[in-house]
Chains A and B, each alone.
Chain A
């Protein structure tokens, strides 16, 4: 069975500061990893994904994530956040291309002026 743990439920940060949202997963097989963002009262939008290859993945809006197989982690980072980055962020894992995603509990990023 697979599982995803997002280590922080809320992350407050000041505008223009760097941020890291942490995600750990467990799986007995190879995985695909995803980060989604959900703005208030909206659906989910894909930020970035890791399928194979380079462990450093770049996504939209200046976000990037690094796949670390030995630590089973896929942390999301941004060097300088904006007020508009305030949203909920979800880490998710899939073991195949079936569209069957397992999500973490979510991390609320609150960017303060």
Chain B
């Protein structure tokens, strides 16, 4: 099992560019989530999904879109990147009582 994988590991964008952060899991988990980590603020939930075709907003959803067409994949889209979106992004998947985190994507928006 690869667990939760994220690509890319690092990314630099210019303001206004768009991109998609990829997340995949091979554990057949129903639940998947995206978090961003900023110094002194812990991890904040961006979007989450309780199954294919079902998504909902977390604490900080503005500027991000998600979709869940398959159980395995949960991509995060930045439509028009802003410097405030510079952060480390973590994807997670969970069974009933434990979340498994990916290695993270470090994003810098200039």
* B: contact size bracket: 20 to 34
- Mostly helix, strand, loop or mixed at chain B's interface? strand
Contact of A99 among B42, B90, B99, B102 (CB under 8 A): B99
Residue among A32, A98, A102, A106 with the highest chain B CB neighbour number at 10 A: A98
Asked if B19 is at the interface of the complex by the 8 Å CB criterion, the answer is no
Flag if B97 contacts A105 (CB, 8 Å). Answer: no
Specify which chain B residues have a CB less than 8 angstroms from the CB of A99 in the assembled complex: 29, 31-33, 48, 50, 92-94, 99
Least CB distance, B7 to chain A, in whole angstroms: 14
Assembly CA distance A104 to B98 (angstroms): 17
Flag if A90 contacts B43 (CB, 8 Å). Answer: yes
* A: contact size bracket: 20 to 34
Assembly CA distance A4 to B99 (angstroms): 17
Residues on B lying within 8 angstroms of A by beta carbon are 29, 31-33, 35, 40-45, 48, 50, 58-59, 90, 92-94, 96-99, 101-104
Residues on A lying within 8 angstroms of B by beta carbon are 4, 6, 9, 32, 34, 42-46, 49, 51, 90, 92, 97-106
A99-B48, A101-B92 known; 13 new pairs, CB 8 Å cut-off, are A42-B103, A43-B101, A43-B104, A46-B99, A51-B97, A90-B43, A98-B48, A100-B33, A103-B43, A104-B42, A105-B41, A105-B42, A106-B40
